[in-house]
Amino acid sequence: MRSGNFKESYAGLIVLTDSRWVWFWSVVLLAVLIVMPFTVNAYVLSLQTLVLITLTGALGLNLLTGMTGLISLGHAGFLVLGAYAYAVIVAKHQFPPLAGFAAAGVVPALFSIVVGLPSLRLRGLYLAITTLAFSYIINNIILEASSITGGARGIAVLRPEFLGVDFSSDQAFALLCLSVATLTLLACLNIRRSRVGRAFMAIRDNDTAARTMGINLQRFKLYAFMTSAFMTGLAGALMGIYLSFVSVEGFPFLLSIEALAILIVGGLGSALGVVLGTLLIVLLPEVVRILFGQLGSGIEAVFSTGVHEVKSIVYGVVIILFLRFEPRGLVGVWHDAKRLWVHWPLRY
């Protein structure tokens, strides 16, 4: 019976996983997600697509906040930049969708330098306020640059077709979102076990000690901002395609709170925590709506007319509960359950 995590080589320390069971269940889960769009109804399929898009964006924020310790409230700003970059390139100028996805990642990454430079001297609450201001500035720039972005009218976006595959159907688009989310997850896992990832975590734990060890704080903080913005921009492009229309109103500040809630609920710095937190945060409002819908049409009407307000309340309650009773998040609960199972009946 496996009873510990002792590693005998450096390669064992940086490997993604040395457990055959982890690889087995990962392949099984991936196979289920591939088959799922063709076996579920439209409602469940839409939830699956939304979970995958949210997961992609949350992984980007986790790299910045969870791994590097740089708190950001401007997540929605990078999302809307990615969505508009894709829409302007593809919908307005008829470039190939692959060029649109490249622009959706590169444009937010370039803009992240603007907000990343102040992070070299700011931290904590001051950095969070700076990123929040950046999000509002981006929204106003988009509204004012109507000749490029369409202003308040927004831009209609069609489902893409590239590499000989038509993603106009809901099933095909769900598989596209699954591909992007899987690649983003693998990228985050590989960054974490690389030299860059270790530098990110050293900055998070103690930036003074990291500087003493020779880590260039300015360079790696900008790396974190740019990589996070690139991933978030891809999620924004997928969200714009999912909504079929890109506008500032489609990316409210609530999305930034939702992303932070995912990290807190799932577990800061953990890719598994992001996956678990995304599932809970995205599906929780639907579960609450279904439960309260059984109490009468009046409460159900509140969910339909005040969906953003209800989501804000739900997210706030969940964040408070996890911070009070389980600061490690769902990943901490998972580790405790796994330890209990492995060492049973000698858990004490």
CATH number at residue 161: 1.10.3470
**Residues 115 and 224 reside in one and the same domain:** yes
Q: What's this model's pTM, rounded to 2 decimal places?
A: 0.88
- Mean pLDDT is lowest, of 61-65, 173-177, 205-209, for 205-209
The residue among 200, 234, 252 that closes a domain is 252
**Residues 234 and 258 reside in one and the same domain:** no
The residue among 252, 271, 287 that closes a domain is 252
* Mean pLDDT estimate for the chain: 84
pLDDT at 1 over 50: no
pLDDT at 276 over 50: yes
Which residue range forms the structural domain that includes residue 310?
253-348
Cβ neighbours of residue 3 closer than 8 Å, sequence gap 6 or more = 342, 343
Amino acid at 348: Y
Average pLDDT over residues 303-314: 67
Indicate whether 134 belongs to any domain.
yes
For residue range 74-88, list pLDDT tens digits in order: 888 999 999 999 999
What is the reported pLDDT for 295?
Answer: 64
For residue range 20-56, list pLDDT tens digits in order: 878 888 899 999 999 999 999 999 999 999 999 999 9
Indicate whether 4 belongs to any domain.
no
In 3D space, the residue among 303, 300, 332, 286 whose CA is nearest the CA of residue 50 turns out to be 286
**Residues 270 and 192 reside in one and the same domain:** no
Sign of CA dihedral 314, 317, 320, 325: negative
For residue range 105-147, list pLDDT tens digits in order: 999 999 988 887 877 777 777 888 888 888 888 988 888 888 8
Structural domain count, the chain? 2
Please say whether the beta carbons of 86 and 101 come within 8 A.
yes
C-alpha angle 307-254-63 in degrees, rounded to nearest 5: 135
What is the reported pLDDT for 52?
Answer: 94
161: which DSSP letter? E
